[in-house]
Amino acid sequence: MTYTTLPQTDIKVSKLCLGTMTWGLQNTQAEGFEQMDYALDQGINFFDTAELYPVPSEAKTYADTERIIGQWFQKTSNRDKVVLASKIAGPGEYTAHIRTNGFSPEAIKDAVNKSLERLKTDYIDLYQLHWPERNTNTLGVRDYKHEDEAWDDNFNEILHTFDGIIKSGKVRHIGISNEKAWGTMRYLEESKTHNLPRMLTVQNAYSLLNRLFEGDMAEIAMRENMGLLAYSPLGCGVLSGKYIKGEDSKNSRLNLFTRFARYSSASCTEATKQYLAIAEAHQLKLSQMALAFVTQQPFVTSNIIGATTMSQLQENSESINLNLTEEVLEAIENVHKIIPNPAA
């Protein structure tokens, strides 16, 4: 395993982060335990979760993923070996079963306290806002279209709320997720101007099929020392190649949940075929090539890998040993020029 630190801290984190959003729905508690045991043995010390998980989010399974992690901490006493990240769910109809008061001080405090209880820990290392409260183009929406909305600018209020929570010791650091350039810079400027806690990381989708982060967000990440925690680096498993090779099963994620169509378009399929051809020409596994591409980007702090089987987790974790050659990278760029960001 290779390591870096959370930006502007001395907290060492693995360049691969264990994603957990299938635990409690596609994976049982026992399987979640097995994944955590294996990840830690491989040197993966960074785990990411959310109160929303498992996904798809439903009232009957709300926060079961956090409960599984908490049970594992209680069983193994491994809390001090893990850098733990979680998130407060963003607002909207999709999360109305969780709460309806957005990122108000009451909502954030409630979310933190309940996550701590479920996770059976006294602190969370990195606590994130799962998606913006305002109307903007996130979660697969390609373009921004301005709309009238009831939202009031509350960046300062959110940071003040976290200031108190951090001083209480319940959260060490904070980050954002599914955020855009404007929101990211607003948080950073509020922190600088008012001496408030700083958002250290941004957790956004990033893969061979979605490289939009390389625009304004990459410049912010590099110039402001703000790390990307890349999620969906395999595009819901599409970049394993299993769907185009007919190796998927009825339990594969896109077969179970057909509404997750972001990576299923004709252009995504064509791009994946071309990336598969590159991998095969260089005797590489497509999944490992796709993951290595993400991991070695200079703005990536950690690459969030998820799996529903142990064989998948093993293959994904082994990608840390792969360094892509200039020839492979050039071939990837040639595909990207022809089919840019088909899943964005």
- For the chain, domain boundaries: 3-235+298-321
Whole-prediction pTM: 0.96
Residues in CB range of 290: below 8 A, 6 or more apart: 207, 208, 233, 234, 239, 275
Write down the pLDDT at residue 139.
Answer: 87
Closest CA to 7 of 198, 194, 291, 179: 198
Contact assessment for residue 47 and residue 83, using Cβ atoms and an 8 Å cutoff: yes
Q: How far apart are CA 60 and CA 54, in angstroms?
A: 10
Write down the pLDDT at residue 83.
Answer: 98
Closest CA to 187 of 130, 213, 197, 138: 197
CA-only gyration radius of the chain, Å: 19
Q: Give percent of the chain above pLDDT 70.
A: 100
Number of H helices, E strands in the chain: 11, 10
Is the model's pLDDT at 256 over the cut of 80?
no
Scanning 195-321, the segments in alpha helix (DSSP H) are 216-224, 253-256, 266-281, 286-295, 310-317
Write down the pLDDT at residue 259.
Answer: 67
Contact assessment for residue 58 and residue 24, using Cβ atoms and an 8 Å cutoff: no
Q: Among 33-37, 161-165, 239-243, 301-305, where is mean pLDDT lowest?
A: 239-243
pLDDT of 295-336, one tens digit each? Answer: 999 999 999 999 999 999 999 999 999 999 999 999 999 999
Paired residues of 174 in beta bridges: 127, 199
3-class secondary-structure state, position 18: strand
Question: Which residue out of 38, 53, 187, 206 is catalytically annotated?
Answer: 53
Q: Alpha-carbon torsion 316, 318, 321, 327, what sign?
A: negative
Q: Give mean pLDDT, residues 10-28.
A: 97
pLDDT of 181-204, one tens digit each? Answer: 999 999 999 999 999 999 999 999
Closest CA to 332 of 298, 282, 269: 282
Is the model's pLDDT at 285 over the cut of 80?
yes
3-class secondary-structure state, position 200: strand
Q: What is the DSSP letter of 22?
A: T
Q: Alpha-carbon torsion 265, 337, 236, 250, what sign?
A: positive
**53 assigned to active site:** yes
Q: Give mean pLDDT, residues 67-71.
A: 98
Q: How far apart are CA 83 and CA 333, in angstroms?
A: 34
Question: Where does 3-235+298-321 sit in CATH, by number?
Answer: 3.20.20.100
Q: What are the tokens at 17?
A: 């982060």
Q: Give mean pLDDT, residues 240-254.
A: 84
Q: What is the DSSP letter of 210?
A: B
Q: How far apart are CA 18 and CA 302, in angstroms?
A: 10
Q: What are the tokens at 212?
A: 């939009």
Q: How far apart are CA 305 and CA 291, in angstroms?
A: 8
Q: How many degrees, rounded to 5, is the angle at CA 69 between CA 169 and CA 118?
A: 55
Q: How far apart are CA 117 and CA 238, in angstroms?
A: 35
Write down the pLDDT at residue 248.
Answer: 82
- Name the one residue in this structure whose structure tokens are 């974790």: 317
Phi, psi of 5 (to 5 degrees): -125, 155
Contact assessment for residue 207 and residue 290, using Cβ atoms and an 8 Å cutoff: yes
Report in angstroms the alpha-carbon separations of 86 from 46, 49, 97, 241, 300.
Answer: 11, 5, 18, 30, 18
